[in-house]
């Protein structure tokens, strides 16, 4: 029995969303902020929260950013809906489903997490054991609707070394490759975009060269 393109789109979206949210909720309810578990030398579960855009940048209003993410995700979702009805490769649809699911996964954090979780707190002299967040605390959440923080936890310090002392500005400083900390939703977006660029450039270009036909 041949599975439909719609089935693959829905399956990919549900799989990514369930896995992404399950991992985020586990991290929020079992780890204090900046706690780290070393799985291997090159892979850690390192709990951080991203309050803004990629890499923690905060250059625009959080409310505007959350609303923009919702609108953009709705546009991607509608585009994915149209793709399912058209004669395009199933792999192309899977890529768009990965991107859509990743975007929605992070939107859930932004919209809901500030309300359903109380604050996660790092270790300090005031909180020697840190503070692990709880869901639906009687005291309320750490923020309001649309102002939640995105939970990140995947850290791959593949190379840990020190810059040579003779190098200007950075000599003697610690260097880590790969240093970004991200989540499964980010991974889904990155993988979807990478596969599109590598294998579906012509399909993507053709799609956007003929917007009237696509509509």
Q: Annotated active-site positions, please?
A: 152, 186
Task: Give the Cα separation of 77 and 71 in Å (integer).
Answer: 10
Residues ≥6 apart with Cβ < 8 Å to 74: none
- For the chain, state the CA radius of gyration: 20
Task: Give the Cα separation of 10 and 101 in Å (integer).
Answer: 10
Q: How far, CA to CA in Å, does 65 sit from each of 5, 86, 117, 211, 212?
A: 32, 32, 20, 27, 30
């Amino acid at each position: 029995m041949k599975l439909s393109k719609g089935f693959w789109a829905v399956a990919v979206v549900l799989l990514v969303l369930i896995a992404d949210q399950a991992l985020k909720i586990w991290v929020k309810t079992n780890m204090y902020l900046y706690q780290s578990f070393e799985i291997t030398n090159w892979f850690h579960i390192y709990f951080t929260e991203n309050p803004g855009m990629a890499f923690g940048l905060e250059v625009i209003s959080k409310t505007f950013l959350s609303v923009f993410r919702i609108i953009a995700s709705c546009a991607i979702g509608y585009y994915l809906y149209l793709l399912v009805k058209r004669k395009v490769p199933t792999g192309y649809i899977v890529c768009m489903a990965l991107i859509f699911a990743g975007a929605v996964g992070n939107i859930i954090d932004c919209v809901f997490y500030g309300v359903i979780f109380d604050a996660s707190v790092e270790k300090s002299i005031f909180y020697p054991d840190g503070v692990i967040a709880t869901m639906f605390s009687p005291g309320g959440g750490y923020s309001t609707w649309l102002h939640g923080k995105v939970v990140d936890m995947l850290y791959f310090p593949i190379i840990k070394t020190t810059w040579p002392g003779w190098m200007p500005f950075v000599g003697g400083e610690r260097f880590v490759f790969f240093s970004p900390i991200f989540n499964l939703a980010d991974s889904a977006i990155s993988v979807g975009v990478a596969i599109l660029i590598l294998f579906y450039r012509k399909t993507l270009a053709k799609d956007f060269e003929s917007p009237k036909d696509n509509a």
